[in-house]
Each structure stands twice: as structure tokens, then as C-alpha cells.
Amino acid sequence: MNIEALQSDWAVWLALASLIIAIVLIIPILLKRTSRSKLNKVLADMNETRKELRKTARVSDKAEKKLQKMLGNIERVKPRDLQEAKDAVDDGKALTKILSDKMMVAQNHVRRVIHDEFPPAKHDRMRAKYLPQDVKENRPFQF
């Protein structure tokens, strides 16, 4: 490749550069419209909501245990501290309720994407894979 070839074919090189730029800009947009990418997005949202719910449930359980401990020693606990503990438990329960509703909405989004974007033959398998029934287990594992 020399200067003469570039001077004579400058329009071809300019068109090629423009085409490459257009492809680089259009491919990510097209990839975001695929059914798998939509599913991955709603799954990520659902998993984030699940993490928030678990964290809030742990904090709420901790506040409830603290309140029970205070109620056990009620004659030595300040009424202000007892009231703060009760308020913390109430706040934890309310926040857990809000996040459980948010989790239900996220699960419905996953169901909707599965229903709208994938063939009916895959629906049951995908629901079983991505929407497992949550079993509340406080223990880390079972033998």
C-alpha cells in the first residue's frame, strides 16, 4: 500500500471506515433486543432484589432477637431503648413486606419475558430453572 493507492481509492477507504463505525454502534443495540438479553436483564434485577430481601430479613430477625432479649430484662431496660427496639422491629417488618412485594414484581417480570420471548415448549423448563420455589432455611446446609 502506497500513497498513490490511498489517493486514488480514498472514497472506498472513507466508506469502509464509516461502515465499521456504523457496525460498532449498531451491533450493541441489536444485541440488547434479543430475547436472551432481556431475560438476563430481568434475572439480574430479580437477583438484586432477592439479595436486598435476604439482607433486610436478616436485619429484621436481628432486631427481633434484640427486642426479645430486652423484654426478658424489662426491669433493667430504659423505656426509650425498649421503644426504639420496637420501632426497629416494626420498620424491619414493613421493609421486608415492601421488598417481598418488589420480589413478586420481579418474578412476574421474569415470567412475562419467558412467556413473551420464548417458545411454549421451553416455558416450563425455564420457569423451573429461573423461578425456583424459595424454601426458607436458616441452616447453611443439610446432610
Q: What is the mean pLDDT of residues 66-94?
A: 94
Residue 135, pLDDT > 60, answer no
Q: What is the pLDDT of residue 32?
A: 76
* Nearest Cα residue to 126 out of 35, 61, 52: 35
Residue 95 has a CB neighbour count (10 Å cut-off) of: 16
pLDDT tens, residue by residue, 22-67: 999 888 887 777 889 999 999 999 999 999 999 999 999 999 999 9
d(CA 56, CA 38) in angstroms, rounded, equals 27
Q: What is the mean pLDDT of residues 106-131?
A: 93
d(CA 111, CA 114) in angstroms, rounded, equals 5
| pLDDT tier at 10, thresholds 50, 70, 90 | confident
d(CA 74, CA 68) in angstroms, rounded, equals 10
